[in-house]
């Protein structure tokens, strides 16, 4: 299905941990569509080493960066421009982590140091990335930044804990920075709200398998798979979506607009 939609475009892709990661699929699809990009992830994620295979497959270089660390981000942005030979056209922010979720804390008893880490890693890292790109004038006009989010930003899904709060902030940062970057440089910033998807981050959430089954039955089209999310990201990086900015875009098979489905109603019959 390759149409060279991203031919000549240069990007930075955050968050490919293993072949289940949504960012991994985005990298594969972007490569098929003719893009060149740098892969990045937290230094700790490099130890798992799987990203090397993706780099080889897509002819990409890897630059480790903790997305909460502005020095790392400065290095990432300046080095990426050197490696790619010019300014950046697209960035994927595909990062999420909550120590409170990892340690099994209940929302009402969260640890506030962990809470700050969740906010920093899962939300403020988008602001820091955008601010670094902005400061270095690193994006081409009509460039596109996409961050991945979840319906838990807008509706209560209790086990998402403080990730839900971080996603609300992430979506707000996309709107606010999207305004300033649009005015200054015609750069677009959007979030894509993806169906629950089986990945390392997803499976860390309690009750995740039940939620996937529930949303499958609550979505007229069924849950959107990771590969389809990658297709959507590619379209958002392409020139075909140039006037889309500051949006939270649902990629969820219709889940977010469904009150109930017949399939679910029938489960509650007498």
Ligand X SMILES: NC(=O)c1ccc[n+]([C@@H]2O[C@H](COP(=O)([O-])OP(=O)(O)OC[C@H]3O[C@@H](n4cnc5c(N)ncnc54)[C@H](O)[C@@H]3O)[C@@H](O)[C@H]2O)c1
Closer Cβ to ligand X, 140 or 168, answer by number: 168
Residue 161 touches ligand X, criterion: CB under 6 A: no
Binding piece for ligand X, criterion CB under 6 A, among 81-89, 102-110, 146-154, 239-247: 146-154
Residues between 19 and 58 with contacts to ligand X, criterion CB under 6 A: 21-23, 41-42, 45
Pairing of strands 61-62, 36-40: parallel
Query: Least distance to ligand X from the beta carbon of 196, Å?
Result: 4
The set of residues, in sequence order, having a beta carbon less than 8 Å from that of 142 and lying 6+ positions away, is 89, 186, 187, 188, 239, 242
Residue 189 CA to residue 175 CA, distance in Å, equals 7
State which of residues 12, 73, 121, 124 lies at the interface with ligand X (CB under 6 A): 121
Place of tokens 């003719």: 34
Closer Cβ to ligand X, 102 or 135, answer by number: 102
Residue 17 touches ligand X, criterion: CB under 6 A: yes
Closer Cβ to ligand X, 41 or 245, answer by number: 41
State which of residues 11, 15, 143, 253 lies at the interface with ligand X (CB under 6 A): 15
Residue 73 touches ligand X, criterion: CB under 6 A: no
Binding mask 77-116 for ligand X (x = CB under 6 A): -----------------xxxx-------------------
Query: Least distance to ligand X from the beta carbon of 47, Å?
Result: 10
Closer Cβ to ligand X, 34 or 204, answer by number: 204
Q: Which phi and psi angles does 222 have, rounded to 5°?
A: 85, 170
Residues between 189 and 208 with contacts to ligand X, criterion CB under 6 A: 194, 196-197, 199-202
Question: For binding to ligand X (CB under 6 A), which residues are involved?
Answer: 14-15, 17, 21-23, 41-42, 45, 66-68, 94-97, 121, 148-150, 194, 196-197, 199-202
């Amino acid at each position: 299905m390759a149409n060279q939609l991203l031919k000549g475009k240069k990007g930075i892709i955050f968050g490919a941990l293993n072949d289940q990661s949504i960012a991994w699929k985005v990298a594969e699809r972007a490569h098929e569509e003719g893009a060149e990009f740098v892969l990045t992830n937290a230094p700790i994620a490099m130890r798992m080493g799987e990203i090397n295979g993706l780099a080889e497959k897509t002819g990409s270089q890897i630059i480790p960066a903790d997305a909460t660390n502005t020095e790392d981000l400065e290095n990432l942005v300046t080095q990426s421009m050197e490696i790619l030979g010019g300014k950046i056209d697209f960035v994927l922010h595909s990062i999420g982590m909550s120590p409170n979720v990892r340690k099994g804390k209940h929302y009402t008893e969260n640890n506030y140091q962990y809470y700050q880490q969740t906010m920093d890693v899962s939300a403020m890292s988008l602001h820091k990335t955008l601010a670094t790109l902005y400061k270095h004038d690193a994006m081409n006009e009509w460039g596109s930044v996409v961050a991945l989010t979840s319906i838990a930003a807008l509706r209560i899904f209790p086990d998402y804990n403080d990730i839900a709060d971080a996603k609300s902030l992430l979506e707000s940062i996309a709107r606010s920075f999207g305004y300033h970057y649009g005015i200054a440089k015609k750069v677009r910033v959007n979030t894509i709200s993806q169906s629950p998807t089986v990945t390392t981050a997803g499976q860390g959430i309690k009750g995740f398998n039940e939620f996937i089954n529930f949303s499958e039955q609550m979505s007229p089209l069924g849950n959107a798979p990771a590969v389809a999310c990658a297709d959507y990201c590619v379209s958002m990086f392409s020139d075909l979506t140039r006037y889309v900015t500051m949006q939270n875009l649902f990629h969820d098979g219709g889940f977010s607009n469904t009150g109930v489905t017949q399939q679910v109603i029938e489960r509650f019959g007498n």
